[in-house]
Structure 1
């Protein structure tokens, strides 16, 4: 599984509170994580970095002999355990109280991928001429959209579109969404913070990815599109493909 990542502070923010990591050979899987931190006084980058570090540690015990359901449970429990540790750490430090982060976790091997997420960082699958959003935003605006109280156009412009209904580290317990999916030859998985998805629509993402032949070029073109659209948030992108050559990556972005 080849994976690449890019991250950028953007054109407005002074600190990058996003974190990303790629790690290969985690119990026979390739692991990718994107976390978008939030909180004043740089607490957001503390939350996102802790989340990346703890989830990696929690998943070290994965084994290639585990079933898909066991791996899904491991991802769920890794996220919930991380949530407890981040919440307890922040609760004991006045300057960090209220900090939190989104997270999206990918385990991928061959034709199988397992995804876990909390918040509004997203995962997509790009397959042939189509793009499929794999995650559902845990946000106020998405709840209003599902209930028919907003149209898609209204949701895009809503002043509270960044308000989350679920995040990691803000409550004693958290309930991540976890799923598994099958991959076919040529499929590309995209993980991103809302610095990309909040400024670049799904169809534009699809056309950019399909306009490039290499993952590195796709990632740089997506990053540039978000910057060109204003770059008003931190931007983080991970792309993964099962048949794009030898594995690459490894260090936190």
Structure 2
């Protein structure tokens, strides 16, 4: 599996409250997670790191098989995100300094021709397949709710003053609803996980233009997306994780 993991503090923020990780379980499955923290006094940084660490530790404790059913994989991702919520909520409840902290999470578990995506909040997952960009997640945000109900247009949503208000987050409640889905996965498909520091600054058309380039250098593509977000203003921390099976990238190269 080819992977890239890039994060930048941006041009405005003083602390990078995003955290991300890409790893491989002992059985061979690849997993990835992006978390975008929130809360004063660097609590967002604490929340996102704790969520990522909890998610990774849970998966690594629980799974060693090389192949799992889609239902097993969905259960694993759901349990790992639920454990992250429990850890963040527990620390926020015990420590007044972290009382208001929380974080988004978008995570993936890939292997055996399938992918499982789990998320809470407005960090996103996209599939890039046959030069088409498809959004796999739905933002858990106030603006998205207003958009779905027809109270806002896409143009109004893009500039709404409460754009960053979440309707769901990790760590703000003892229990959280987690969206989990499974989908078939082709070796040539690419997965993008990102914080809203990318999607608020860079259009989907611009993202696709970068990711559809004929190259298997995922690190260079991730760097290019980060740079575009910075050039557009860099108003938030920005994090990009890319994954693609090496075999798929090689086939694409040979077809040129």
**TM-score range normalised by the length of the shorter chain:** over 0.9
Q: 1:112 to 1:3 in 2, by over 3 A?
A: same
In structure 2, how many angstroms separate the alpha carbons of the residues matched to 1:190 and 1:151? 26
Matching residue within 129, 144, 156 for 2:131? 129
In structure 2, how many angstroms separate the alpha carbons of the residues matched to 1:82 and 1:115? 15
Alpha-carbon offset, residue 85 of structure 1:
1.8
Structure 1 partner of 2:202: 200
Are 2:9 and 1:12 equivalent residues in the alignment?
A: no
TM-score, scaled to structure 1: 0.94
Query: 1:56-95: CA deviations, max 9, x gaps?
Result: 1111212335321011011111111221121011111001
Alpha-carbon offset, residue 187 of structure 1:
1.1
Structure 2 partner of 1:179: 181
In structure 1, how many angstroms separate the alpha carbons of the residues matched to 2:59 and 2:25? 11
Instruction: Give 3-state SS (helix, strand or coil) of 2:25's partner.
Output: strand
**Unaligned stretches of 5+ residues in structure 2:** 251-256
Structure 1 partner of 2:34: 34
The more displaced of 164-173 and 61-70 is 61-70
Instruction: Give 3-state SS (helix, strand or coil) of 1:178's partner.
Output: strand
Alpha-carbon offset, residue 167 of structure 1:
0.3
Alpha-carbon offset, residue 201 of structure 1:
1.2
Structure 1 partner of 2:54: 54
In structure 2, how many angstroms separate the alpha carbons of the residues matched to 1:168 and 1:26? 27
Instruction: Give 3-state SS (helix, strand or coil) of 2:104's partner.
Output: strand
Structure 1 partner of 2:109: 107
In structure 1, how many angstroms separate the alpha carbons of the residues matched to 2:55 and 2:103? 13
Structure 1 partner of 2:157: 155
In structure 2, how many angstroms separate the alpha carbons of the residues matched to 1:224 and 1:110? 33
2:141–2:163 CA contact under 8 A, matched in 1: yes
Q: Which has the higher contact order (CA 8 A, sep 6+)?
A: 1
The more displaced of 211-220 and 227-236 is 211-220
**For 1:204-223, what aligned pairs fall within 5 Å after superposition?**
204-211=206-213, 213=215, 214-223=217-226
The more displaced of 127-136 and 106-115 is 106-115
Matching residue within 233, 238, 241 for 1:235? 238
1:110–1:242 CA contact under 8 A, matched in 2: no
Instruction: Give 3-state SS (helix, strand or coil) of 2:201's partner.
Output: coil
TM-score, scaled to structure 2: 0.92
Query: 1:115-154: CA deviations, max 9, x gaps?
Result: 1000000000011221000000000000000001111111
**Unaligned stretches of 5+ residues in structure 1:** 246-253
Instruction: Give 3-state SS (helix, strand or coil) of 1:69's partner.
Output: helix
Q: What's the RMSD between the two structures over aligned residues?
A: 1.2
2:67–2:112 CA contact under 8 A, matched in 1: no
Alpha-carbon offset, residue 27 of structure 1:
3.6
Query: 1:181-218: CA deviations, max 9, x gaps?
Result: 11223211100000001111111100111235121111
